[in-house]
Amino acid sequence: MKKIKSFTLVEILVATTIFAIVAVIASASSSMIISTTNKSDDLSKSEVCVRQVYDFVRAAISSSDSNMRFYPAELAGTSRFQLKLFGDVPPENEASFPAIAYFVSSEKFRIIHKLGDSFFLSDELEFNKNLSTYYNVSSSKKIHSDDCSFFIPSPAPISGYDFVKPFTITRNQNIQMGDLTKSENRSYLIHLKDIAYRSKQGGEDVVTMSEAWESKIFSRLDLVISESLKSL
């Protein structure tokens, strides 16, 4: 009678162990590839978020009325703004604001403002030369897509970033225009700095704010605007 060959118990256990190890490695590699791909997609989207705001602000300032300066704006309450003078910023200091106003004509302007984790654009407002005027903004629209979030919490404050007031005004020391004791001869820089991450995809949460910070899945927004020359 012909003897039937079969595997021993030891051989079966060794083969099972090897198969389990290979399966675990394959699963881990697959998870790592998916995680890396998702992270790359989220980072790419955060770059899109930054570009949307950058391009919008850049285009708005470039197309603003040439006879009117654009102004920083301070928030008073939840939807009221007051325009501020550049001359109020002392030469040795800087001031931060939640918004800037740019003029579509000599009599009308719009406000780009940060509220929560988003940037908004107001409807057109009638300009009043009395700068103590408060302007009510009843209607605004986002200037970026809904899955963008411009607020990143961290264990400690992030140097150079103010998520409530992202527009910083400083004196431009590189431009001299006559008597600098007169505010109209001074030049100022508006520096817009913020951080964006991809918060949603198709209505579903992608990552939390903390995860975005810990995993470094975010992009930095950095735009400098010359107030006097309107150059970028």
Q: For 157-206, write each residue's pLDDT tens digit.
A: 677 788 889 998 887 765 555 444 444 455 677 889 998 887 765 445 55
* pTM, to two decimals: 0.73
pLDDT at 125: 93
Q: For residue 207, what pLDDT band results from cuts at 50, 70 and 90?
A: low
Is 46's pLDDT higher than 90? Answer: no
- Mean pLDDT, residues 15-43: 64
pLDDT at 224: 85
pLDDT at 180: 44
| Residue of 129 and 1 predicted with greater confidence | 129
- Cβ–Cβ under 8 Å, residues 109 and 63: no
- Mean pLDDT, residues 153-160: 65
pLDDT in tens, 134-151: 999 887 899 998 888 887
pLDDT at 178: 46
Question: Which of 161, 153, 85, 148 lies closest to 120, judged by CA?
Answer: 148
Is 36's pLDDT higher than 80? Answer: no
Distances in Å between the alpha carbon of 74 and those of 43, 82, 101, 113, 140? Answer: 32, 5, 10, 9, 16
- Cβ–Cβ under 8 Å, residues 57 and 230: no
pLDDT in tens, 93-140: 678 899 999 898 888 999 999 988 899 999 999 998 887 899 998 878
- Cβ–Cβ under 8 Å, residues 57 and 102: no
- Opening angle at CA 96, ends 90 and 100, nearest 5: 105
pLDDT at 27: 60
| Residue of 154 and 78 predicted with greater confidence | 78
pLDDT in tens, 57-79: 988 888 887 677 678 899 887 78
CA distance 94 to 189: 10
Give the β-pairing of 99-103 and 95-97. unpaired
pLDDT at 34: 44
pLDDT at 29: 55
pLDDT at 11: 67
The residue count of the chain comes to: 232
